[in-house]
Structure 1
């Protein structure tokens, strides 16, 4: 018997995982194993807590409480002795008292009871055939069966959360804006097996993905502008070519017209030239006869 789960040797945990889980189910030794061991730790802790409050009485002496060990639950007496001694330690009692005070201060408790958030999420996704986001699960886990929130604090938290989700890069960032940084080993509205380090990696990955998408869109816009400018350059060159060609044709037409005008002037006779030609036709020769024929 060990005082706490963290004192259980890693080999013992691995043997439990391989014999009770891996032997009967198709799982991997990464995230699945982490989830199984986290779930086992929670159930181990809750079971011991339930047994202690059911069988231990603070108004009875230690010896009598030890004699009243939960034999009917299959708990060995030696294990019960170790756990009772652990619970009676001053350090343990201070931790228990602090946890009770923290639970009393909790303004917006969840409404899932003993059902885990991961199990509830899985049930909803199987029923509706879609994925439920972290933001949606906060609302689900803080509502009554009639659909209303458990109290005003839960309602206001959800309202702030949904507004933050719209203005944030990711839901993880929105949760930190509304509720603050995640506690060690626990992430709100994600259930067992999920740690803050995993969420941070996911957030960085999401941010990097969003930045990459923005860069891709900007590059596409640049390429589109380059293509448009290329087409504009082609049109400009075409206009210049057509303009130069039209100017050349205009010069050719002007030259042809000048040549035509020049040829026309060469083909016309003046009146003086006509008279000289007529006089030479009827000039009297030396023998006294005209140059014409009879």
Structure 2
């Protein structure tokens, strides 16, 4: 007994996400929740309840992050449990909130239900269909990722188009400025030539002008 207790203590120290379920199994907790709610329950709400302490706080920050992900699909899972659930059995599906958060199930254990549980018994479908359900969930996530990347590319293309238009206007303005500088230089040369001609013709009689006068 002491050996098992020491092993359980070591196992708890390895948990990344702690829980507040104590020694009570999820199956027993699910039955109690079913009696309290008056309907079958899903494994999502059973797992979520184990992440909350009696004072309503989460067990730790990792538990809060995990709970936030579960809460995204929890209403849909609860609706399925109320309409499709079987009394005294926790409703589970490979593509429910727990399946999306934890990923593919391992043989001999089902998340939220416990160890030594057959996958086909927990999900009510043959193992090969469970694999297809997991693949479908993965494909949906990949499809969403592709859509997000496509939207990001569209935004970048819009920004690039705006940059190219701005650069084109800048180049046009720069070109006009260079042309203006050339015309001013030509005018200065013409004025200098005219001044030399007048100075040669009139000499000291050449009148001077104040360029600042009105």
TM-score tier by shorter-chain length is 0.3 to 0.5
TM (norm. structure 2) is: 0.45
